[in-house]
């Protein structure tokens, strides 16, 4: 009897499951009919054309250059310091580090006493040079040295700048500076 019951239950299970998904199976069979995939042809491969890199025609990006061409190209005539002139001792120091500590008058000529950062003392007059920016002394008084510096900007142009070094009172040991 157990066998008979087992056979009936198995047959019942097979009978219930047969028609439940028939519509889904039919849809899948019909959806694929008449459709055929089409693949586009591959694009045509262009032949390789070598590129010749000519960097010598391009300006160096790390070299300073003038932003605009000057009106008199090649004519010279611009403001440029004399690079071939023999440098004077005070041209080795920045102007801010030089100090005027006094003045001397000999005849009609006034000389300024300039102290360098290396504690050396120099006597200068109009026409001498000092500072790293090609400074030329234009006048000397008892309290001030006036000079004209020639400075190069980032575009390669040279310009003049007026500057001065004034008298500094130095205190000696045991004295207080006022």
Domain residue ranges of the chain, discontinuous segments joined by +: 89-166
Whether the pTM exceeds 0.75: the reply is: no
Tell which residue, 102, 157, 25, 140, has the closest CA to residue 130. 140
- The CB density around residue 98, as the number of other CB atoms within 10 Å, is 21
- The CB density around residue 100, as the number of other CB atoms within 10 Å, is 21
Q: Estimate the share of the chain in helix, then strand, then coil, as percent rounded to the nearest 5.
A: 20, 25, 55
pLDDT band of 61, cuts 50, 70, 90 = confident
Per-residue model confidence as pLDDT tens digits over 95-135: 999 999 999 999 999 999 999 999 999 999 999 999 999 99
How far is the C-alpha of 88 from the C-alpha of 82, rounded, in Å? 13
Residues 6+ apart with CB under 8 A from 169: 177, 178
Q: Which CATH class is domain 89-166?
A: mainly beta
Average of pLDDT values for 65-94? 71
pLDDT band of 8, cuts 50, 70, 90 = low
Tell which residue, 156, 167, 161, has the closest CA to residue 103. 167
């Amino acid at each position: 009897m157990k066998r008979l019951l087992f056979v009936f239950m198995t047959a019942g299970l097979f009978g219930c499951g047969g028609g439940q998904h028939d519509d889904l199976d039919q849809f899948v069979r019909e959806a694929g009919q008449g459709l055929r995939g089409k693949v586009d042809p591959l694009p045509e491969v262009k032949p390789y054309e070598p590129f010749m890199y000519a960097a010598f025609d391009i300006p160096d990006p790390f070299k300073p250059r003038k932003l605009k061409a000057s009106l008199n190209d090649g004519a010279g005539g611009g403001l440029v310091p004399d690079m071939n002139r023999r440098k004077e001792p005070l041209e080795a120091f920045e102007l801010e580090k030089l100090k005027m500590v006094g003045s001397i008058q000999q005849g009609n000529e006034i000389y300024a006493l300039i102290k360098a950062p290396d504690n050396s003392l120099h006597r200068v007059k109009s026409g001498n040079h000092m500072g790293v920016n090609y400074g030329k002394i234009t006048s000397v008084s008892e309290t001030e040295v006036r000079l004209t510096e020639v400075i190069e900007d980032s575009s390669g142009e040279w310009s003049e700048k007026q500057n001065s070094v004034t008298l500094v009172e130095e205190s000696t040991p045991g004295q207080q500076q006022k």
